Amino acid sequence: MSTIAEMFSLQGKVALVTGASKGIGEAMAYTFGKAGAQVVVSSRKQEAVEAVARKFKSVGLKQTIGIACNVGKAAEIEALVSKTIEHFGRIDIIVNNAGTNPVYSPMMEMEESAYDKIMDVNLKGAWLLTKAAHPHLKASGQGCVINIASIEGLSPSPNLGAYSISKAGMVMLTKVLARELGEDHIRVNAICPGYIRTKLSEMVWQDKALLREVMHKQCMNYEANPEDLSGLALMLAAGTGKFLTGAIITADGGYTV
């Protein structure tokens, strides 16, 4: 029987995390590294991912590299996978965390270009990265994909229509890929965060009235940080999650109850 440490170990595995220069992605990448994984920190800007990699290395996570990638561009996704394989030789875990929401407006007032950008980054990019990494996840024999969706993909809020649509698509993408990739021993699950203190949701934390409303709707009077999702991601990535696939896990302090 495995020890607790063994159950949560990622020793010998390679984890690739997008949107990892800050927030949820950075917290998950750090936790994976602490659990023994070799980690690829990815985001749009090379200087940003290199800064995170240096920070990780300074606390002992030597097997960390930063590779820039705009997941809205297919060619950059292919390059990200190729560079990861060139450096580490394998991919066992990917976290599709990169996301954007450049507008806050009703759907009828949204520009087509903004809609396309949201879909390309939040949804299409997750599909393309999983597709590009698929041969390596299959070769792993225990591949794992973690998609970061949102409670907005379960129930929309005003002025976040396109973002909500993209995250609802992420939920269904998770279920479709879980069904299709199961025979390749690849598990695909999604986490739907609620209101977490990140740059993407900073409008909530800057608006005291809105923050009070959020706290009132949550079952827990608790302001969550990115680190609060890391343990859940580790559980999904490690041996503890080996029978979980197609799961859509809400982590929102009870906001949607």
Residue 249 confidence (pLDDT): 98
Mean pLDDT, residues 126-155 taken together: 97
pLDDT above 70 (res 203): no
Q: Is the pLDDT of residue 185 over 70?
A: yes
Known catalytic residues are 163
Average pLDDT over residues 90-106: 95
Hey, which residues does 148 pair with through a beta bridge?
191
Query: How far are the Cα atoms of 107, 181, 233 from residue 3, in angstroms, in the given order?
Result: 51, 29, 19
Note the pLDDT of residue 178. 98
What mean pLDDT is predicted for residues 73-100? 98
Q: Considering the entire predicted model, what is its pTM?
A: 0.96
Per the prediction, the chain carries an average pLDDT of 95
How many H helices and E strands in the chain? 10, 7
Residue 233: what pLDDT?
Answer: 98
Residue with the two structure tokens 């923050």: 211
Residue 79's pLDDT band (boundaries 50, 70, 90)?
A: very high
Query: Rounded to an integer, what distance in angstroms lies between the CA atom of residue 147 and that of residue 97?
Result: 6
Structure tokens at 70: 């705009």
Distance CA 133, CA 82 (A): 9
Cβ–Cβ < 8 Å for 119, 170: no
Query: Would you state the pLDDT for residue 65?
Result: 98
At residue 212, the pLDDT reads 84
Query: Which pLDDT value is given to residue 250?
Result: 97
Position 204 scores a pLDDT of 62
- Token readout for 154 is 């379960």
Cβ of 213: how many Cβ atoms within 10 Å?
12
pLDDT, one tens digit per residue, over 4-53 is: 999 999 999 999 999 999 999 999 999 999 999 999 999 999 999 999 99
State the average pLDDT over residues 213-218: 86
Sign for the CA dihedral angle at 187, 166, 99, 127 comes to positive
Spatial CB neighbours of 100, under 8 Å, sequence gap ≥ 6: 117, 118, 121, 122, 200
What does the pLDDT read at residue 201? Answer: 67
How far CA 82 is from CA of 18, 20, 228, in Å, comes to 15, 18, 31
Eight-state DSSP code of residue 224: B
